[in-house]
Structure formats: C-alpha cells, structure tokens
Amino acid sequence: MEDRAVSCLIALRRVLSAADQNVRAVAKATGLSVQQMIVLQIIEDTTEITPMMIARRAGVAPATATALIEKLAQMDYVTRRRSESDRRKYWVSLTDTGLAALHSAPDPLHQKFSEEFARIPDYEQAMILAALERVANLVSSPDEPSRTEQPHVLEMPKATDAEKETVQDRG
C-alpha cells in the first residue's frame, strides 16, 4: 500500500509541475496571470458581462473578480460601462488589446487537457473525474467544504439561462 501512496504523490507532483509550467508560460507570453486569462476568456464568450457573473463563472469571490477587472482595465484589456437602468451595476467588455493578448497566449493547460480528455471513452472519463475529486478531498483542509458541487477545476462553467437573459437586457 505504501508504494501506491508514493506513486500517487509522484503523479500528483507531475500534475502540479505541469500546471506551474503553464502558469509561467502564460505569464511570460502575456504578462497576465491564469486568473486574468480566464476572466478574458469569459468576457470573450459573452461579449459584455457583469463582475458578479464573471465571479460565478470563474469560481472566485466577487471582490477577487472586481480586483481582476480593475487590473485588466488599467492594462486597457477591458472597458467598463455603467448600466443605464441601475447605476450601481456595470458591464465589462473586451478591448482589441485584450483580445490580442488573449489570442497571443500559449495554449492553456485546460484546453490541452480538455482536448485529450475528450478522446477518452466516457466510462474512463467518469473514473478519472471520480478519482480526481477523491484526491482533491484527500488533500483539502478539514474545515474546507467539499467542492464536488463546484464546476470542475479544468472546465469553465457555461453561462446560465438567467445570465444570458441579463446579458441580453444590458440596460
């Protein structure tokens, strides 16, 4: 049993190393963090979106989303526009500079993973997902709630129908 635990830890370190290399490659190529790249991808998918929707789709706190948007706005990668119907709300959209930065980034790890994962049979995908969720629960702190209800770490959640209607409203 000890050999399996060691083998699992080695495999986990390989995954973490690949993720770390991806973070460095993205940062070197674009000057952006992976979180900032994810925010740009979310905005590109929806054209115009609110910070709260970005927070939900990216799986971060609203304050984190706001900080990411602020940094991206300072870099001229996104613009913010106040809602005409509710002055407290604002819409975020991608600039041409932001679009160029997004498309100049190296292929993110999650895209490569998604492409390779799609080639695996469904039953094997389910087994991998279950094993990864189990590993995540094994290594997370005891006071941290189980994240099985959260979107998978390698998959960005799609906009909900309510978000799509809100985006269409844009008022």
Amino acid at 144: E
Residue 152: per-residue pLDDT: 44
pLDDT at 98: 93
User: Cβ neighbours of residue 33 under 8 Å, at least 6 residues apart?
Assistant: 23, 26, 27
CB 80 within 8 A of CB 73: yes
Displacement of CA 117 from its chain's centroid (Å):
17
pLDDT of residue 1: 58
Residue 119 in 3-state DSSP? coil
Sketch out the chain's domains with CATH numbers.
2-106+157-169 (1.10.10.10)
Residue 151 confidence (pLDDT): 46
| CA of residue 122 relative to chain centroid, distance | 23
- Structural contact between residues 47 and 167, judged by C-beta atoms closer than 8 angstroms: yes
Using CA atoms, how far apart are residues 33 and 23, in angstroms rounded to an integer?
7
Q: How far apart are CA 61 and CA 148, in angstroms?
A: 18
| Nearest-angstrom CA–CA distance, 10 and 4 | 10
Residue 53 has a pLDDT of 95
Angstrom distance (rounded) from CA 88 to CA 33: 28
> pTM score, two decimals?
0.61
Tens digits of pLDDT across the chain (171 residues): 578 889 988 998 998 898 888 888 878 878 888 889 889 999 999 888 999 999 999 989 999 999 999 999 999 999 999 988 888 889 999 999 999 988 888 766 878 888 999 999 999 999 999 998 898 888 877 765 554 444 444 444 555 555 555 555 555
- Is the backbone of residue 159 left (phi > 0), alpha (psi -120 to 50) or beta? beta
